[in-house]
A and B are shown apart, each in its own frame.
Chain A
Amino acid sequence: MASVQIHDVRKSFGGFEVLHGVTVPIEDGEFVVLVGPSGCGKSTLLRMLAGLEKITAGTISIGERVVNDVQPKERDIAMVFQNYALYPHMTVAQNMGFSLKLRGADQKTIDSKVRRAADILDLGKLLDRYPRQLSGGQRQRVAMGRAIVRDPQVFLFDEPLSNLDAKLRVAMRTEIKELHQRLKTTTVYVTHDQIEAMTMADKIVVMQDGVVEQIGAPLDLYDKPDNKFVAGFIGSPAMNFLDGTLKVNGGQPYVETASGAKLPVMAAPANGNGRTVSYGIRPEHLDFADSGIAAEVAVVEPTGSETQIVARVGDQEVIAVFRERHPVAPGDLIHLQPRADVAHLFDKESGRRI
C-alpha cells in the first residue's frame, strides 16, 4: 500500500492540452473516485497513473517514488479495465496467475495465490472456465481477481461497472467497496456515474474539461459544492438553479427572481445587495407551501419510495422530490418553498459559491 501524489500534472495530445495542471493528493489506503462527464480527462489521468500514457508535465509519485519515467510494470499497480481485458485464450486461473507467471513465480505459489484471490471473490468453481463461458459479472470479478493476485500498492479501476446491467452494477458496487474495506489497498476509481462516486468513495475528485473542480468527501460535495458545476453534477435528480437578484436589506436576505418569487437565504454577504446570482436548491429541499415559488405541474413521476414532480416556473423547469404522496396532477398550480438552510448561492457570472 502506498500514498499517491499527483502534482500539477498536464497532458497534451499533439498540441492540444487535455489536462491543465491537475493536483490530487491520495492518502495511503484511501478510496478515491475521479468523476466527471466524458471527455473531462479522468481516464487519461488514470492511464497516466498506470503508465499507459506519458506525462507531459508535472509529477506523479507512488509512495515516495516519482514514477514519471518508471515502466508500468515497475510501478506496482494493478488495473481493472472497462472491458475487463481478460485474455480470451486463458482460463480464469491462467488469467489471474499470468502476472505471477511472468515474474517467474513457481506453479505452487501461483496456485495458492490464485486460490486465495478466488476465495475472496467466490470464483473457486470457475477457475477452469474460459472468459467466454462467464457472465458479465463473473468476468468483472475475474478482472478484479487478476488485480488482487498481484497484491499491488495501488488498484486502478477504469469505469469497471459501465458494461453491466443496472442491477448487477449495484451489487458489484457493494462488492468492490467491501473488498476495499477488507484489503485496504489504495484505490483510484474512475467513473462518470456520480452515484457510484457518492456511494463508494472516501474522497471524490470532480473533474471537468481537464481541471479539478473540487476535491472532498462525498457528503461535503453534496452539502457544500464549490461551484455550480459540482452542485449540478453531484446529486440526483440534479440541483435546480433559479436566476435572480440578491436582496440584503438588513433583515432576512432573499433572492428575487424575474417572476417575482422571493427565495429565502440564511446568510449573504452584506455588500451583496443587488448582485445577480444563481439560486441553487436541491429537489429534496423543496416543500409544498401556500407561498413561495409558484409553479405549474408538468409531469408527475412516482418511483414508489418517492415522487418526482417536474414543474414549470416561467420558462424554467424545477424538479421537486417528495417522500410523501401528494395528490397533484399535471396542470395543477402549486407553491414550492425552498428550505433556506440548505439553499446555495452562486455567482451568476463565475458560477462560484458565494
Chain B
Amino acid sequence: MTTLQMREQVHSGPTAWQRLRTSRNFIALWFMLPAAAFLILFLAYPLFLGVWMSFTDARIGRDGVFIGIENYEWLWDDSIFWLSVFNTILYTVVASAIKFAVGLYLALLLNRHMPFKAIIRAAVLVPFIVPTVLSAIAFWWIYDSQFSIISWSLIKLGVIDQNINFLGDSNWARASVIFANIWRGVPFVAITLLAGLQTVSPSLYEAATLDGATAWQRFRYITYPLLTPIIAVVMTFSVLFTFTDFQLIWALTRGGPVNATHLMATLSYQRGILSGRLGEGAAIATAMIPFLLAAIAISWFGMQRRKWQQGTDND
C-alpha cells in the first residue's frame, strides 16, 4: 500500500466493508439466515411447489406441463370435490364448536379447587398424547359393525335391538369421525384455556362478587372477556388442525362410506398420491388455502380489536 492510499483511507474513515462488518443489521441477518433457510426449504418451497403443481397436469413419474386453471375447472364440476368441501366444513364447524364448549367447561371445572386436581388434569391430557393412529384403531373397534362395545351395551340395556352400523352409514359415519376428533381435540382446548384461566387474578372475581355479580355474570363479564385473546388463539389452531385433519379419517373410514367422510385433505391424498394425479391432488390441497386464510383472518381481526390489551400509550 502506498503512502497516498493509506492517507486516503485515514481521511475517509472506515471503509464500506468495515462499516458493514460492524453493522448490527448485517450481523442480525447472518443469525437469521439458518432459520430463514430452514423455513424456506421446508415450508415456503413445498408450498410454492404445491401451488405450482396445481396448475400442471403432473402425474407420478411424469413432470407435468402448465395447463392453467384446468384442474380447478375440473374440480368445479366435480360433485365429489364439493361433497368433500361440505364434509370438511361440517366436520370443522361441528367438531370445533363442541371442542370449544366442552374444553371451556372442562377448563372451568379443572380451575376449581378439588381433590386429586393434578391427577385429573394429567388424565385429561391422555387423548392428546396417544398417537392419533392408535386412538383411531381403538375407535375403529368401538365403532365396529359387529363387535362395537357401544352397540353391545345399548343392546344389553335394551335401548336398541340391532347393531348400529357406525362406519357403514353416511350420517353415522360423519357423527362417528366427528366424535373421535372431538375426543382427541378437547384436551388441547381445555388445557390451553385452563392456562388462560389461571392468569386471571382471583381478586377480580372477589371484586366482582362484592360488586354484586352472580356466578354467571362473573363468567360473562370477567372470565369470558379476559379469556378472549387465548380463545382466539386456541380456536384458530383448533380450526386449522380440524380443517386439515387427515390421519383420523384415513385410519377410520378412508373417506367412506361413499365419500361421506371424505375431507379435502383425504380426497387430495387419494387423487394425488393413490391415483397418481398429482396436479389434481395439488389443486384440491390448494383450494384449502382460502378457507384457512379466512379462519386466520377472523381470529386476527378479532384479536386486534382488543384495545385494553395494548401497551400503556395514550390514545
Contact = CB atoms under 8 A, between A and B. Distances in A.
A66 interface: no
Contact of B210 (A79, A89, A132): A79
Given A85-B203, A87-B222, A88-B226, A130 B308 contact: yes
Interface in A88-125: 88-90, 98-99, 102-103
Contacts of A87: 204, 207-208, 221-222
Contact of A99 (B204, B211, B312): B211
Contacts of A170: none
Contacts of A79: 206-207, 210
B73 interface: no
Given A89-B225, A89-B226, A50 B210 contact: yes
Nearest to A73: B212
Contacts of B226: 88-89
A21 B225 CA distance: 41
A325 B116 CA distance: 65
A98 B221 contact: yes
A129 B314 contact: yes
Nearest to B213: A102
B312 A132 contact: yes
A85 B206 contact: yes
The B interface is mostly helix, strand or loop, or mixed, namely helix
Interface in B28-66: none
Given A83-B203, A132-B308, A52 B211 contact: no
A351 B206 CA distance: 39
Interface residues of B, number: 26
A81 B213 contact: no
A95 to B, nearest CB: 9
B217 interface: yes
A232 interface: no
B212 to A, nearest CB: 4
B222 A78 contact: no
B5 interface: no
Given A129-B314, A130-B307, A132-B308, A85 B201 contact: yes
B16 to A, nearest CB: 45
A79 B208 CA distance: 10
Interface in B219-234: 221-222, 225-226
B115 interface: no
Given A85-B204, A87-B204, A88-B226, A72 B210 contact: yes
Contacts of B313: 133
Interface residues of A, number: 27
Contacts of B209: 51-52, 72-73
Given A99-B212, A103-B212, A85 B307 contact: no
Contact of A52 (B204, B206, B212, B213): B206
Nearest to A132: B312
B246 to A, nearest CB: 38
A146 B311 CA distance: 23
A88 B308 contact: yes
Nearest to B310: A132
Contacts of A72: 209-210
B314 A78 contact: no
Contact of B212 (A83, A90, A102): A102
- Most chain B CB within a 10 A radius of its CB, from A73, A89, A90, A102: A89
A77 interface: yes
- Most chain B CB within a 10 A radius of its CB, from A51, A78, A82, A88: A88
A85 B207 contact: yes
B21 interface: no
B212 A132 contact: no
A73 B208 CA distance: 9
A133 B312 CA distance: 5
A242 to B, nearest CB: 44
A102 B210 CA distance: 11
B203 A81 contact: yes
A348 B157 CA distance: 79
Interface string B177-196: 00000000000000000000
B117 interface: no
Contacts of B203: 81-83, 85
Contacts of B222: 87
B206 A98 contact: no
Interface in A266-284: none
Contacts of B204: 85, 87
- Ranked nearest first, the 9 interchain pairs of A and B with the lowest CB-CB distance are A73-B212, A99-B211, A85-B207, A85-B203, A130-B308, A89-B225, A89-B308, A102-B212, A81-B203
5 contacts: A52-B210, A73-B213, A79-B206, A89-B226, A102-B212
